[in-house]
């Protein structure tokens, strides 16, 4: 699937660190304490245009794998949220990425999920290349792509 990503409009990017009171008592899989976390959000409207079918390709991917991540109220909207967490306790110290697409958690547990992560990684790489983005926004998109990449690599290992 060739994706052009010229049909990306109304781009919104945000990043925030979780405050200590938001982290206190949080666990991953109910067993490990989170030391800190960073939440990032990317929201964009996709469309089909003369250069490509960004919206059609996104919906086609959802239909093909029956992911159910298309928002029925706004089918042209992609909203990606990542939570990058660092776990630190007396046994381990490592990081974990978790993801939501249009409000639903996604997890790489099967190859069909990997296709979705591949699409999201392509999306973030193409957004990173947009010339109108400031360096700060490019850094945020790169951070999101790095979290996605690390999660995908972990699945492949």
Q: What pLDDT is attached to residue 4?
A: 43
> Mean pLDDT for the chain?
77
Report d(CA 38, CA 83) in Å as an integer. Answer: 6
User: What is residue 41's predicted lDDT score, i.e. its pLDDT?
Assistant: 93
* Residue 99 neighbours by CB under 8 Å, 6+ apart: 80, 81, 82, 83, 105, 106, 107, 120, 148, 151
Q: Residues 86-111: what's their mean pLDDT?
A: 73
Q: What is the pLDDT of residue 5?
A: 45
Prediction pTM value: 0.76
Instruction: Count other C-beta atoms under 10 Å from residue 78's C-beta.
Output: 22
**Per-residue pLDDT tens digits for 2-50:** 444 456 888 889 998 876 556 655 555 555 566 677 889 999 998 887 7
What pLDDT is recorded for position 24? Answer: 54
Residue 58 above 70 pLDDT? yes
By C-alpha distance, which of 31, 56, 32, 61 is closest to 46? 56
Structure tokens at 69: 């991540």
């Amino acid at each position: 699937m060739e994706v052009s990503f010229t049909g990306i409009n109304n781009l919104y990017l945000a990043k925030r660190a979780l405050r200590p009171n938001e982290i206190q008592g949080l666990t991953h899989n109910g067993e490990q304490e989170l030391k800190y976390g960073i939440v990032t959000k990317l929201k964009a409207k996709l469309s089909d245009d003369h250069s490509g079918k960004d919206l059609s390709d996104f919906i086609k991917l959802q239909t093909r794998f029956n992911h159910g991540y298309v928002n029925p109220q706004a089918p042209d909207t992609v909203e990606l949220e990542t939570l990058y967490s660092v776990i630190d306790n007396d046994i381990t110290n490592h990081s974990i990425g978790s993801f939501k697409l249009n409000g639903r958690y996604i997890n790489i547990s099967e190859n069909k999920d990997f296709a979705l992560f591949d699409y999201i990684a392509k999306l973030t790489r193409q957004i990173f290349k947009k010339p109108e983005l400031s360096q700060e926004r490019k850094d945020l998109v790169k951070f999101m792509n790095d979290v996605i990449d690390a999660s995908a690599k972990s699945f492949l290992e």
